[in-house]
């Protein structure tokens, strides 16, 4: 990863830790549980995508963009906490640490996820940006993270467990469950810096491809790495609709290579400086 990306991530991480929601009360563990998943770390892939766009065009807006990036990371973290619950994947490990329902209990984990969902929009609403920009950002995150995006993908994923989907249906599932939030992160970076409609839509389309690539990579990790190597529960998707279950590990690897090729072609339509940054990210995370 390039030095500038490391600096963006380090500054974002400091901002995130300093701006986690405060919930002081006589509850013995709620605030600790609220912060725990962030202190366990994470790739911060979605915030970095947004910050890379902003840094390319308007680096002076990075402090304001950190509010938005934190909102996206909070929404993403809520989805992970809920995914790990017994009613979903019943996973004991996330980010190298026991999941919240293991450390505390199922009620606490559920409520922490609910709180982070709401607080993500508070972070954007409180960003030092124009009201019209914040309205667009909130709309984008709600659309892609909610009923027509990530939650729809989760609903399909759960309902069709143990029921085999075809490749078109599987792609639809993961576009919604994983790719739309990544695509929204890219587009929201474009909204912050004032890119036009065509440019923000191009960022979104590239983000959908990167999101699918992210999911294929995740499915490959699930069957090739141990829990300790991955930092989360693996070999946990045997009844799920995954690219490895449908295509086999070798087929999923070919799908990954195909997506990388398609993404690199799309990069040719981007600003050269931004394309270089995204190519570096692809090389770092996926090659």
pLDDT per residue as tens digits for the range 55-82: 999 999 999 999 999 999 999 999 999 9
Q: Kindly give the residue spans of alpha helices, DSSP state H, lying in 85-196.
A: 100-103, 106-125, 131-145, 150-159, 167-174, 180-193
- Model confidence at 233, pLDDT cuts 50, 70, 90, reads low
CATH code for position 9: 1.10.600.10
Q: How far is CA 234 from CA 20, 137, 227, in A?
A: 28, 34, 5
Boundaries of domain holding 94: 3-286
CB atoms within 10 A of CB 17: 12
What is the residue-averaged pLDDT of the chain?
95
Question: What pLDDT was estimated at residue 229?
Answer: 64
State the DSSP string of 66-106: HHHHHHHHHHHHHHHHHHTSTTTT--SEETTEE-HHHHS-H
Both tokens of 120, joined, read 């993500």
Does pTM top 0.75 for this prediction? yes
Kindly report, residue by residue over 181-208, the tens digit of the pLDDT. Answer: 999 999 999 999 999 999 999 999 999 9
Domains in the chain: how many in total? 1
Q: How far apart are alpha carbons 135 and 68 in whole angstroms?
A: 12
């Amino acid at each position: 990863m390039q030095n500038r990306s490391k600096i963006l991530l380090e500054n974002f991480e400091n901002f995130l830790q300093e701006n986690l929601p405060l919930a002081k009360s006589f509850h013995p563990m709620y605030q600790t549980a609220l912060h725990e998943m962030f202190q366990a770390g994470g790739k911060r892939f979605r915030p970095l995508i947004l910050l890379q766009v902003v840094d390319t065009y308007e680096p002076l807006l990075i402090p304001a963009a950190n509010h938005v990036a934190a909102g996206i990371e909070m929404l993403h973290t809520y989805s992970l906490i809920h995914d790990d619950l017994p009613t979903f994947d019943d996973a004991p490990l996330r980010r190298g640490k026991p999941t919240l329902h293991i450390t505390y209990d199922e009620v606490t984990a559920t409520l922490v996820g609910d709180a982070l969902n709401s607080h993500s929009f508070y972070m954007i609403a409180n960003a030092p940006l124009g009201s019209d920009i914040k309205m667009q950002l909130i709309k984008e995150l709600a659309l892609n993270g909610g009923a027509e995006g990530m939650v729809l993908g989760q609903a399909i994923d759960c309902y069709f467990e143990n029921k085999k989907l075809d490749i078109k249906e599987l792609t639809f599932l993961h576009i919604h469950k994983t790719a739309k939030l990544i695509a929204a992160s890219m587009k929201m970076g474009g909204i912050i810096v004032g890119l036009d409609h065509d440019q923000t839509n191009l960022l979104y389309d590239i983000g959908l491809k990167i999101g699918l690539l992210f999911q294929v990579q995740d499915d490959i990790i699930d069957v090739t790495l141990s829990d300790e190597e991955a930092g989360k529960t693996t070999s946990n998707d045997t009844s799920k609709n995954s690219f490895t279950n449908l295509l086999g590990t070798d087929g999923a690897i070919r799908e990954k290579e195909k997506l990388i090729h398609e993404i690199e072609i799309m990069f040719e339509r981007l600003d050269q400086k931004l394309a270089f940054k995204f190519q570096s990210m692809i090389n770092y995370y996926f090659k």
